[in-house]
Amino acid sequence: MIKMRILSGADVRQAVTMAEAIQAVKAAYIQLSAGKAVVPLRTPVPVEKQGGVTLFMPAYLSTSDALGAKIVSVFPGNLARGLPLIHAVVVVVDAETGCPIALMDGTYLTALRTGAASGVSTDLLARPDARVAAVFGAGAQARTQLEAVCTVRPIQKAWVYDTVPDRAVAYAQEMLGRGRPIPTDISVAGSPAEALRAADVVCTATTSSTPVFDDADLKSGAHVSGVGAYTHEMQEIPAETVARAKVVVDSRVASLAEAGDLIIPLKDGLITEASIHGEIGEVATGQIPGRESHTEVTFFKSVGLAVQDVAVAELILQRAADLGLGVEVEL
């Protein structure tokens, strides 16, 4: 009889900290860049009637022997219904037997591992003296973006900008109540320029199809993590920023196939494929350099990979067993 552990969103939150998730995602990126991962491109199933999409994302990490898949839906109309933009579940499979051994809420896990990706990139690419952060977007993903950045850098001041000011206000109030490592100084920006004025680290976590800031407002030496644009048509980062930055990606193959932030300037002839410096896993192992000057602008483009989900899910499952979280059911 197959036993499967079912883990709720509350269980997932309790099982793993952001610092632990950052380390798990970093290890997954290293395996990916070393050719130790099987990660097919995600399979999107558009639901045109609702303007949404459901994505199927499997992966296997051979070094850590982690196997599983995520099913994630992005339905913009949910916000008007009072529902989350993103819903997801993750299935963990025993890599020795092929038996499904866990099913867990993937909605918070998605936010956690997406934040962790920016935590990895900030740790490896941002200036060591970074103290000011700017976050574009005020949804679930934006919350873990700030948490991750503050986990790897002693951020003293944060700005948030959203096209819906009330959402930004609610975000700031919520994040202020979380305590360390979140700073006690969080302000709502009245414009993208105000958010960027002093920002050392910038995180974009939106569903925008046009750039969310002007390149001229981005200060010298800033690090940018773009996690929101995951289709050909979506674009959060100005092409001019991409053209002048050191560009590091989570996966060359996935980014060139899916990331509008790169595909659009490629089509316009502003960059070439050679403009991509490399993968974050290569930076993590020292195969290629990260930041090389105080004034260099660095840009990490993440389309989101199943290796992140599987790596964090494997860690969550281990901790859940130790902590007695979740419910076991027989299939």
The residues annotated with a catalytic role in the active site are 70
Rounded Cα gap, residues 250 and 121, in angstroms:
9
CA atoms within 13 A on the CB side of 261: 33
DSSP calls for 101-121: EEEEE-HHHHHHHHHHHHHHH
Q: Contact, 307 vs 32, CB < 8 A?
A: yes
Structure token pair of residue 263:
């595909």
Rounded Cα gap, residues 288 and 304, in angstroms:
21
| Residue 328 to residues 66, 284, 325, Cα–Cα distance (Å) | 20, 37, 9
Rounded Cα gap, residues 315 and 178, in angstroms:
24
Q: Contact, 55 vs 42, CB < 8 A?
A: yes
Amino acid residing at 166: D
Q: Please list the residues that pair with 248 across neighbouring strands.
A: 278, 300
Q: Contact, 229 vs 259, CB < 8 A?
A: yes
Rounded Cα gap, residues 39 and 200, in angstroms:
32
Q: How many residues does the chain have?
A: 331
Task: Return the beta strands (E) in 189-230 as ranges.
Answer: 201-204, 223-226
Rounded Cα gap, residues 116 and 9, in angstroms:
17
